[in-house]
Amino acid sequence: MGSTEVTPSATLVESFEDAFGPLLQGAHDMFSLDDNLSVDTPDGESANGGLVDISGLHAVEAKLKEARKKNREIVDAARNDLRAMSRTFEQQRLSATRSPALPSQQEHEARMAIALADRRAKMKQNGELEQTLYRLQADVERLQQELKEEEADAFEVSELNGEVLRLKLYRDFGFTPVEENGTISKVLVPPSTARRVKSIRALSEAGSALAMDVDEAKEDGEKVLVRDESFVVLERKGLPAEVEELLMDADPYTDPFRACLDSQTGFAYVISRECCYRTTSPTTYLFPLPPSLSLPANVSVFSPLSFASFVPTATHQNQREPGLLIISTTGDIRFWDNVSMALSGVDRFKTVAANLQEGELVRGLVLASPTSYLVSTSQSRVLVISIASSGGRSTLSVRPFDRARGWAGSVWSAVFGGKGPDPRAGILALALSNASRDGERMGYAVTDKNVQVWRIPKEEGGERLVVEQDLFAGVLEGIKGEKVGNEEWALNEGQVEIVDAKVSSDGALAVLVSHVADSTTPNKLSYAVVSLNVGAALNTVAVQSVKKLAYQAHPDPRPLSTPSLSLLRGDTAFVTFVDAVVMLSLASESTFEEVFPLRSSSNRFLGASVNASTSPNTYPCLSLLTSTASLLTVEVTSVESIQNEQAGSEEHKTRKLKGKIEQGIYFGGNDADNPLAFDLLPDFEGDLIAASEAVSQEILSSSSAHMPYILDLRAQLADRVLRARALIEYIGSNGLLGKLSQSARRRLSWDAEKLSAAVALWHYQNSRLGGGPSLLSTAVDNFMTEIGEGFSEDPVRVFFRTQVSSIGLVLEHVTKLAKSTLAASGSSDLKSPTLQEANHLVLLVFNAVARFRADSGALYGLDPNLHPLEAWSSRPIVLENLQWHFDSTDALLRERSRELGTSVDDEQPKYTGRSRGASVDVSNQQVLQAELKKQMASLADFVFGMYEERLSFLRTINADTGSSPESRVITERYLSLRPRFIRTLVSIGKVTNAYDLAERYRDFRSLVELCNDGQHGSPGRIRLFMQKYSEEFAFALYHFYVEKGQLRVLMEQDDEYRPLLTKFLDETGNPRVAWLNDIAIGRFAHATETLVSEAASESDLAQKKLLLSLGKLSQIAQASKETIETEDVQRAIEAVDDALDIVNSQHGLKDLFVQSLSNAELQLPVAEQGELVTTRIAPSLAQLPSFAQLYTKLVSDLLQGRTLSAEDLIDLLTLKETTHADSADFSSALEILVRAKDLPEGRKEVALQNIWRRVYLRDDWASLRAATELKDEEVANALRNTALFATLTGAAGADHPASMYLRPLESLFTGSAEELAARFPDAPSHLIDLLLNDYESENQSLREAVQQHMLDDYCSEVARLMGEEVGEVEGAVGDDSMMED
C-alpha cells in the first residue's frame, strides 16, 4: 500500500502464533546432522557405540543457533506479509459489506414484483397505443397523398431557376444547405463512420456549383439524433428481430445484458444469461455459453454474464467473418474459428479452462494483440489467452502472468484460500497503453486501491510486473487538490471509489472515480476523471489533471450498471452511464462537457466501444448499443473546438444555452422516436431570455444552421411553425416558463404568430401564382425594394423565408396601395375588387393571429391584462389602417347601393337595377356585396380587439393610471367608434355580429340599445343578458330606462332583479325614482330621507309639497304604535312639518297675490303680474327701488309655482303693507326663521334684524307723538293696533328664546356685501350695492324713530299693555330686553 501503514489485527496475530508456534519451536527437527556426529545416550555410550564426541555437540549447537536465526527471519517476514494481507483483508471485508442504503432481499423482490406487474401493464398499454399510432400514421399518409394529388402544382421549367434546381438535387442527395440572409452559404454533410468526406468545395455564386467526394454513400436507416459544431449523434435501427424481441421481453432488474460493437470487425454481440447473439444485420447467430455452476447470489447480481470478444487475429484476416471468444465468470473458455459456424456446427468449438483458484472469478476480458487476450480476475491476477494456428487448426492456451509470490503468499492461500467468490474484488479495470515502436505495451491492472503496472512485450511471454503501488492516495490527492495523510486515506470521508480506468494517448492513466462533494445532490454521486502519471518505482504516482463532471447520477440498482470510461484521440473522453453518456475534454484548459441522456427510463445502454481507427479522414466516435435494439454513434466532428472551449463571459454561456435549446427543438421537440432526452439541467448557465429570443428570431428568419432546407415553401413555413411551438413547449416542459418575463413571452408569441400569419398569406399567394401580380406580391415587392432586397430572382419567396418579422409593414403597404387605388378610381367597379382583396389580406393575417392567440395563450402563460411591450398588431398606424378599411368599406357599400340599386343588398341571384335600362346579370355583384359586409363584421372585431390591446399596453406602462395624453385620446376614440361601428353593422344587416361584438367587448350600452330595438331586440334577450352579466348589463339597462323616461318599465322589474335595481338606485343619482323602490322593498326610513332631501332642492312648490307629504307618510309608516311617541320619531316628524309649514306659507302668499289681480291681469306675463302685485301689496317700496325690484321678482317666482327660500318668504311677509288683518305676518316670519334650520348663522341674524326693523318701521310713530289731544285710552288703543303689539302678542305663545327678540337699535342692518352675494349668487354687483343702499335707508328711518319719535318709550308702553292683557308674558320684552336703552 505504499507509504500507508495499517496495524494488523490482534486476532490474526494470535491465530498465527497458535497455528505456527509449535512448528517454529521445533525447527531444529527440520535439520539433519552429519553422519559421523555422535550423540551420547543415557547410559553414557554413544549412539554408534563410541564415546561422546564433544566437537560434534558444539557443531550441533552452532547449527541450532543458525537455524533459530533463520527461523526468526522467516517469522519476521511472515509477520510483515501478514500485516499487508490483513490490511487487504479488512479492505475487502468493508467493500463486501452490504450498504444499508440498499434494499433488503425481501424488499428487492417486492419491488421487482411491483415493477414487473407495472411493466406488463405498460407494455400492454404501449402496444395498444402503438397500434393506434400506426393506424393514424397510415391515415395521415393516405390523406397527405390525396392532398398532394389534389393540390399538386404544375411549374413551368422557366419558373424554376437554376439555383432552386441545384438546391433540390443537393437535398435529394442527403445534403443540408444552410441559408443565411436569404442566400446559401454552405452545405452540411452529416458525418458517420461509414462515410468519409474527403473534400467540400463551394464555388462562387457565378458558378453556383458544389463539388464533393464521398467515400461511401449514406447508409440506409441512419438518422441524425442531434448535431452541433463539435459532434453528431447518429442512430441506426433495424437490428435483427430476434434481438429486439429478446431485449423487449427482458426485465432490466433481473435480466442483464452485455453488448458491444467491435470497431475492428464491424460486428456486434449481445450476451444474455443463456447465450451470445451475433447481431449484425441481416443474420443473427446464436452461440451457447459455457455451462455455469450454481453461482452465489452476489455473483449473480454483480457478475452474472460471460465475457466475449470477436477475434480478428492474423489467422482470420483473409476470412470474411471473424472468430468468437467467450469466457464465463468461472473461467470456462469457448472459441469458434468463424462466427458462421453458428449456422452449422455451432457445437464444434475449442474449449479450455482458465484454471482459476478457489473462489476466483473472471472480471474482464481485453484484447492485447491479434492472438492474445488478457483476463482479469477477482483475486487480482492477470491471465493471458493465446490463440495459435498450426496446420489450419487453432489451439488455445491459458497461462497467468508470472507474478513472484513469496512464502507469505502460500500462507495467505493456506489461511484464506477457502473464502467464497467476490465478484467485486480484485481487478476492476484492465487498461493497456498504445504499443511503442518495438511493439511493447504497458498494462495497468487497477484494483480499488492499488495498481499493478505490467510490461507486456510484443512476443508472447516475458511479461513482467514493473511495480504494484498505492493508486488511491493519488486519486484522493486529485479530488481534494492536496496531499492526503494516512488518516484521510483510511477514513475516505468523500466516499471516493475507483470505477474504471483507461490509458490516454500520452501514456497517462485516466481513472474514473465517484465521490460525494459539498455540491453533490442528495442521493446522487459526483464523478471525476483523474489523470495520473504512474512511475516504475514505489510512491511515484503523480496527478496530471483532474476533470470533475458537472453531471451527477443516482446509484443504479440494476445489474451491470457501473459507469465506464472511454477515451478517444484528441483528449476526448466519454463516461457511459446506464441512462446517459457524458462527453468531455481532458485538455487542461478546456471546459467542454456535453450530456446525452436517454429519454425513456426503460431504455438503457448495454455497451460502448471506441472506434480504433486512426485514419485522419475518420471521425473518432463512440458506438453504443441500447436496450431498444438500436445503435447510437457519437462522432467528434471538431476536436479543436472541444479542446479550445473555455469558460467565458455571460455571452458565451448564453451561446451554449442557445445551442442546448436548439438541440431540444430541432432534434427532440417534435420527434417522439428520438431516444435522447434534451432536458435542461436546473443549474444551467446563461441568459434564458436572450437565448430563447435568439432561437425564435432564427426560426423566424430561417437563419438557423439546424433549419432543414425545404424547397416547398408551404412545408418550410409549416416546419417553422412547428419549431416555434416546440421552442415554448421545450421551455415549459423543463419548468422554465416562470423564468421568462411577460415581455419575453410576448416576443416569443409574436414571432410564432407572425409565422402563422405568413402561412395564411403564402397559401393565398400560392393560389394566385400564374394569374398575374396580386396586391400582396406588389406590396411585398415594394417592401423588399424599400429595404434593398428587391433585386433577387423571387423577392416574394425570399420575403416569406427571411423577412416574416416585417409582415406588419407589408400590411401597411397593402393599405397604401388600396388607398391610392380608391383615390384614383371613380367607379365602384374599380374600387370594389381592390378593397375586397386588401380587406381579405388584412383579415387573413389577423384571423391567423387571433387563432394562434386563442390556441397558444395558455402555452405561453400570458397575462391577458398585462402588456408591457407595444404589440406590432396594435401600433397607432395599424389602428388607423384598420379603421380606414372599415370606414372605406362602409362608404363603398353605400356607393354601390346608389350605383347598382338597393337590390344589390338582396339575396336574389339576379336583378335589374341600372338606371339606363340596361339589364345586367349581377349575381356576382350580390356575392361581392355580401362579402364586403362580411369583411366589415370581421374588421370591426379586430378594430375593437386591437384598440383594447393598445389600451392595455398604455395602462401597463402607466401603472393603470390612464393619465397619459395618448391613453385619454385612445380611450375617447375607442368609446366613440365602438357604438358607431355596432350601429353600422346593424344598418347593413349584420345584427348577429353586432350582438356578438357588443357582448364580447362588453359594450353593454350598445347591447342594451340592441335589446330594446323594436326590430332586433326582445325581452328574452334582456332576460338572457341579465342572467349572464348581472350588474354590468343591468346598470346599463337601468340607465337607458332613466334616460328614455321609461320609469314605469324600470320599476316593473322582476323580484329576482330587485336587488340589482336597489343597488343601481343607491349608487346613482336617481332619488326621484329611488324612493319608490324603497317603498316597494319596505325601506321607509331611506325613502323618507330621500323624499325630504329631494324636497329641499325642489324648485316647484307643488312638487315640494307633494314630496314633503310623501316623506311624512313614509316617516309615519315606518313607526309602530310603540315608537311613534318616542322623541326621535316626533322630532323627525316635526322637521317634516316645519318644512310643510313653510310651503303652506308660500301657498297662502300665492293665493293673496292672485286675489289682488283681476282675471284680465292674470292673463298678463308673470313679470307684469309681479309688478302689479308689488304696487298694490307693497306701495311703500316705491321709495326703496331695489327692494321693489326684489319683491317683484319674488312675487313672479311664487306666481309661477317656484319654491322660495326662508329669507325670500321673510322679505315677502315683512316688506308688504300690513293691515290689522295681516298683523300676524311678522310673527309668521319669526316662525319661518325658527324653522329654517339650514340657514347660516350670519344670514339668520340678518333675517332676524330685517323682521324686527320692519316691525318697528311699520307704524307711524311720528304721528302718534304729534297727537297731543288724545286721551290715555285712545293712546293705549293706538298702541294696541301697532304691528309691534301684534307681533309680540303672536310670538308670546310660541315660546321663542330671548335671542329671537331685538330692541330697536339692535335691529339695524349689519350684513355685508358678501352675505348678500351668498344669498343672491346670480345678482350683479351693482344690484348688491343698491340693496345695501335700501338697507341703509331703513336703518336711517329706524334711528330717526328712536331719536326723534320716542320709539323706545312707546315700546316700553306696548310691553306694559301686553303685560296687562297677557299675564304669561312675564316681561318677555321688559326691562331686560326691549325697554332698556
pLDDT tens digits, residue range 668-698?
765 667 888 888 877 788 899 999 999 999 9
pLDDT tier, 86 (very low <50, low <70, confident <90, very high otherwise)? confident
Q: Which residues contact 350 (CB under 8 A, 6 or more apart)?
A: 334, 335, 336, 337, 394, 395, 396
> Quick one: pLDDT at residue 99?
61
| CA–CA distance, 1230 with 1244 (Å, rounded to integer) | 11
So what's the pLDDT on residue 1370?
A: 43
Average pLDDT, the chain: 80
Q: What is the pLDDT of residues 468-514, one digit of tens each?
A: 988 888 888 888 888 888 777 877 877 899 999 999 888 899 999 99
Question: pLDDT for 364-399, tens place per residue?
Answer: 999 888 788 999 998 889 999 988 887 678 888 898
- Any idea what DSSP says for residue 224? E
Confidence band, pLDDT 50/70/90 cuts, at residue 295: low
Judged against a pLDDT cut of 60, whether residue 51 lies above it is answered with no
Mean pLDDT of all residues in 216-236: 74
Average pLDDT for 530-545: 86
If pLDDT is split at 50, 70 and 90, which confidence band does 437 have? confident
Contact residues for 281 (Cβ-Cβ < 8 A; gap 6+): 238, 239, 240
pLDDT above 80: residue 1320: yes
CA–CA gap between residue 1362 and residue 435 (Å, rounded): 149
Can you point out the beta strands (E) in 155-312?
176-180, 183-188, 197-202, 210-214, 222-227, 231-236, 258-261, 268-271, 275-278, 285-288, 307-311
The pLDDT of residue 41: 41
Q: What percent of the chain has pLDDT over 70?
A: 80
Predicted confidence (pLDDT) at residue 1369 exceeds the cutoff of 60: no
Instruction: Among 37-51, 251-265, 1028-1042, 1274-1288, name the one with the lowest average pLDDT.
Output: 37-51
CA 1136 to CA 1140: how far, in whole Å? Answer: 6
Nearest to 449 by CA among 482, 471, 464, 466: 471
pLDDT for the residue numbered 1158:
87
Residue 44: is its pLDDT beyond 50?
Answer: no
Between CA 968 and CA 976, with CA 970 as vertex, the angle to 5 degrees is: 100
Q: Tell me the pLDDT band of 20, cut-offs 50, 70 and 90.
A: low
Q: What is the mean pLDDT of residues 188-195?
A: 43
- Determine the straight-line distance between the first and last CA of the chain, rounded to whole angstroms: 133
If you average pLDDT over residues 1245-1267, what whole number do you get?
A: 88
Amino acid in position 188: L
- Quick one: pLDDT band at residue 14, thresholds 50, 70, 90? low
pLDDT higher for 10 or 117? 117
> Which DSSP symbol is given to 379?
T
Helix (H) or strand (E) holding 1081: helix 1071-1081
d(CA 1205, CA 952): 51
Give the separation between CA 325 and CA 333, rounded to whole angstroms.
7
Burial of 58 (0-12, 13-18, 19+ CB in 10 A): exposed
pLDDT confidence bin for 915, thresholds 50/70/90: very low
DSSP 3-state of 311:
strand
Q: What percent of the chain has pLDDT over 90?
A: 24
If you count DSSP H runs as helices and E runs as strands, how many of each does the chain have, helices first?
Answer: 42, 33
Task: Spell out a b/e string for 636-651, using b for 16 or more CB atoms within 10 Å of the CB, else e.
Answer: bbebebbbebeeeeee
User: Which residue has cell 349668487?
Assistant: 1321
Q: Is the pLDDT of residue 1014 over 50?
A: yes
Where helices occur in 571-673 by DSSP H, the ranges are 639-644, 650-663
Q: What is the pLDDT of residue 754?
A: 96
Residue 289 pLDDT more than 70?
A: yes
Write out pLDDT tens, residues 547-599.
999 889 988 877 788 899 999 877 889 999 988 999 998 888 888 888 999 88
- Residue 275: strand pairing partners: 288
215: three-class secondary structure by DSSP = coil
Q: Name which residue leads in pLDDT, 1177 or 981.
A: 981
Q: Are 520 and 552 in contact (CB under 8 A)?
A: yes
- Rounded to an integer, the average pLDDT of 266-270 is 82
Place of cell 361601428: 981
Helical residues (DSSP H) of 449-517, grouped into ranges: 472-480, 486-491
* Amino acid 284: pLDDT: 78
- Lowest average pLDDT, out of 147-151, 478-482, 1054-1058, goes to 147-151
Mean pLDDT over residues 1105-1132, rounded? 71
Element (H, E) at 1279: helix 1272-1280
Q: Position 1103: which residue type?
A: Q
Q: Is a pLDDT exceeding 50 seen at residue 279?
A: yes
Could you write out the DSSP letters of every residue in 1293-1352? TTT--GGG---GGGGS----HHHHHHH-TTS-HHHHHHHHHHHHHHHHHHHHHHHHS-HH
pLDDT digits (tens, 9 = 90+) for 105-143: 777 777 777 877 777 667 667 766 766 776 676 677 677
pLDDT at 263: 76
Q: Are 534 and 471 a contacting pair, CB within 8 Å?
A: yes
Instruction: Pick the more confident residue, 1219 or 774.
Output: 774
- In 1345-1358, which positions are buried (b, 16+ CB within 10 angstroms) versus exposed (e)? bbeebbbbebbbbb
pLDDT category of residue 47 using cuts at 50, 70 and 90: very low
Mean pLDDT, to the nearest integer, of 448-456? 91
Q: Give the H/E segment covering residue 974.
A: helix 965-987
Q: Assess whether the previous peptide bond of 282 is cis (omega < 30° from 0).
A: yes
Lowest mean pLDDT among 785-794, 1019-1028, 1134-1143: 1134-1143
Which of 416-420, 596-600, 708-712 shows the lowest mean pLDDT across its residues?
416-420
Which residue from 181, 227, 177, 180 is spatially nearest to 202, judged by alpha carbons? 177
Q: What is the pTM of this model?
A: 0.67
| Helix/strand/coil for 322 | coil
Residue 637's pLDDT band (boundaries 50, 70, 90)?
confident
Of 711-720, 1119-1128, 1222-1231, the range with the lowest mean pLDDT is 1119-1128
Rounded to an integer, the average pLDDT of 305-322 is 71
The more confidently predicted of residues 496 and 317 is 496
Q: Which residue is listed with cell 303689539?
A: 1285
Instruction: Write out the H or E segment, with its range, that includes residue 73.
Output: helix 54-96
Element (H, E) at 718: helix 713-733
DSSP letters spanning 1105-1144: HHHHHHHHHHHHHT--TTTTTSHHHHHHHHHHHHHHHHHH
State how far the alpha carbon of 31 is from the alpha carbons of 20, 39, 76, 1061, 1124, in Å: 17, 15, 20, 128, 142
Using one digit for the tens of pLDDT, what is the confidence trace for 845-881? Answer: 999 999 999 999 899 999 988 899 999 999 999 999 9
Q: Look at 1133 and 1068; give whichever has higher pLDDT.
A: 1068
Q: With a cut of 80, say whether residue 726 has pLDDT above it.
A: yes
**H-type alpha helices, 436-560:** 472-480, 486-491
In this prediction, residue 19 carries a pLDDT of 53
Q: What's the pLDDT at 847?
A: 96
Residue 1121 binned pLDDT confidence (cut-offs 50, 70, 90): low
Q: Nearest to residue 893, comparing CAs of 985, 1003, 991, 763?
A: 985
What is the predicted pLDDT for the residue at 166? 58
